C-alpha cells in the first residue's frame, strides 16, 4: 500500500485507508481513483499533481514546519 501527498495542502492519500467520506474504500489503489480525482481537502490539486511518498516522509514545507521543529506558544 502506497501513500500520495497533495503538494498544496499536504493531505495524504493513504491507499490502506482510502477516503471513506468521498467513497473510496480502504485498499483503493491510487491508480484506481478516477482521473478527475481532486484533493478532498483543498480541491485545487488533482490526481496528476499528487506526489508519491517513498516512506512516511512528508514533503511540503508546510508539513515540515508542523512536524519537525521545536516551537513554543507563550503569553
Partner 1 sequence: MKTVTFDSPTQGTISYTDKKRGLWWMSALYPLFPITGLVLHGLTGIELMLLVPMVAAYICVPLFDYLLGEDLSNPPEEVVAQLEQDRYYSRLLYLAVPLHFITFFAAVYWIVTQDLSMAGYLILAVGAGMTSGLGINTGHELGHKTDPLSRLMAKIVLAVPGYGHFCLEHNAGHHRHVATPEDTASSKMGENIYAFALREIPGGFKRAWQLEKVRLQRKGKSMWSPSNELLQSYAITAVIQISLLIAFGWMLLPFLIIHNFLAWWQLTSANYIEHYGLLREKKANGSYERCQPHHSWNSNHVFSNLLLYHLERHSDHHAHPTRHVPALRNFEDVPALPNGYFGAYLMAYCPPIWFAVMNPRLLNLQHIQGDLSKVNILPGKREAMEQKYASLVAA
Judged by the rule CB under 8 A, the positions of this chain that interact with partner 1 are 8-9, 11, 22-24, 38, 41-46, 49, 61-62, 65-66, 69-75
Beta carbon of residue 55, minimum distance to partner 1 (angstroms, whole number): 21
Strand partners, 38: 46
Task: Choose between 41 and 53: whose C-beta lies nearer to partner 1.
Answer: 41
Q: CB–CB of 46/39 below 8 Å?
A: yes
Of 54 and 74, the one with the shorter C-beta distance to partner 1 is 74
Q: How far is the CB of 9 from partner 1 (least distance, A)?
A: 4
**Cβ-based burial of 51 (10 A; exposed 0-12, middle 13-18, buried ≥19):** middle
* Residue that has been written with the C-alpha cell 497533495 in this structure: 6
Amino acid at each position: 500500500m502506497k501513500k500520495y501527498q497533495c503538494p498544496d495542502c499536504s493531505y495524504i492519500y493513504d491507499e490502506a485507508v482510502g477516503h471513506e467520506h468521498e467513497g473510496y474504500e480502504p485498499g483503493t489503489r491510487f491508480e484506481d481513483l478516477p482521473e478527475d480525482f481532486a484533493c478532498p481537502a483543498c480541491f485545487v490539486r488533482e490526481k496528476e499533481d499528487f506526489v508519491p511518498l517513498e516512506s512516511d516522509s512528508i514533503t511540503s514545507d508546510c508539513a515540515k514546519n508542523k512536524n519537525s521543529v521545536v516551537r513554543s506558544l507563550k503569553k
